[in-house]
Amino acid sequence: MKDNIALIGFMGSGKTTVGRILARSLDMKFIDIDRCISIREKKTIPEIFEELGEKYFRDLEREIIEEESRDNNIVISTGGGAIIDNVNIKNLKQTSFVVFLDCDVETIYERVRRSKNRPLLNNSENLFEKIKELHEKRQTLYKISADFSIEITSETNLYDSVEKIKNAYILS
């Protein structure tokens, strides 16, 4: 069994919410990579994207994932785009049981449509289509990066999902 659990999935799939509950139930520390980035930079994620660009954000994301994945006994909530960088996946897979929260596009849309903290979605004329397009581009990367996948819909019970992840992790 690996020392950590890393949650991957599209923005709005529930990584932070599931991660907090999962960490508490396993008596593990919880780390949210986007929050670490915001704290380090003293800026919101949209401010970082706007002022410094996506490349700067991705470089910082890689650095923090590398640092945090060295720790033990943690649940890591990654950003939705963390999987587009092979170095991130390599670092996570070395130390973590990687779980893909496979959330459908309709549920993601409902969860993020009013958010102003999603820089890749801001200024999208057709938000649903933008989510669908990004989701399709990333889906294969999520699937091949994961040790375990769990489907998430608007009907999914949060605590059932946490239990399924816990059981898969313990049996890994």
**Which residue is associated with the tokens 């496979």?**
102
3-state secondary structure of 86: helix
Can you give the pTM of this predicted structure? 0.94
- The string of pLDDT tens digits covering residues 13-72 is 999 999 999 999 999 999 999 999 999 999 999 999 999 999 999 999 999 999 999 999
Which pLDDT score, from 0 to 100, does residue 159 have?
96
What confidence tens digit (pLDDT) does each residue in 138-167 have? Answer: 999 999 999 999 999 999 999 999 999 999
Mean pLDDT for the stretch of residues 85-107? 96
Contact 103, 15 (CB under 8 A): no
